[in-house]
Amino acid sequence: MGQALFYHLTRSPLEATLPMLLSKSLQAGWHVVVRGCDAGRLDWLDQKLWAGPEEAFLPHGVAGGTHDALQPILLTTGTEVPNGALCLMAVDGAEVTPEECGGLERVCILFDGNDPAAVDHARGQWKALTGAGIAAQYWSEEDGRWQKKAETG
């Protein structure tokens, strides 16, 4: 059964934290699905990923193309996983079910710590997933580095 990692973004924005986590996932040999709620926001993330330094290029695509199944990283608003991803990264309040967690190696939930609604939503996700028996970790960025603040299961 997979594990859920919650990332409370307080210092680094999504566009800085997401590439770091994506890089680590690819190094682990996992394909990744990045799930968001808004296609425009995912297009923005796509542009940010393309604009990164050449030596840190992250091969990716936006869902709906002819090569979705081949993408190491696929950005989507849907629940499908055509690229056989072992890691799901949920951003901007995208939903994750306990059933999905069971079929993946890792689920990462990234939320804006400066947005009270996003924090409340993440708390609800924590309760739903841990209540269903999913092991979870809560990470917060303090003093410029990530620290594990809580762990279950």
Residue 16's CB is within 10 A of a number of other CB atoms, namely 12
- 40 Cβ neighbours under 8 A, 6+ residues apart: none
Please write the tens of the pLDDT for every residue from 107-146: 999 999 999 999 999 999 999 999 999 999 999 987 778 9
- 3 state SS of 135: strand
Over residues 50-66, the pLDDT tens digits come to 987 888 899 999 999 89
Residues 9 and 58: their CA atoms lie apart, in Å, by: 21
* 76, 32 contact by CB (below 8 A): no
* pTM of the predicted structure, to 2 decimals: 0.95
Can you tell me the distance from the alpha carbon of 7 to that of 131, in angstroms, rounded to the nearest whole number?
A: 19
What is the pLDDT, as a whole number, of residue 1? 65
**Homologous superfamily assigned to 3-151:** DNA polymerase III subunit chi (3.40.50.10110)
Residue 79: what pLDDT? 94
Q: How far apart are CA 60 and CA 106, in angstroms?
A: 18
The answer to whether 4 and 135 are in contact (CB under 8 A) is yes
- What are the residue boundaries of the structural domains of the chain, listed by start? 3-151
Nearest to 15 by CA among 100, 99, 36: 36
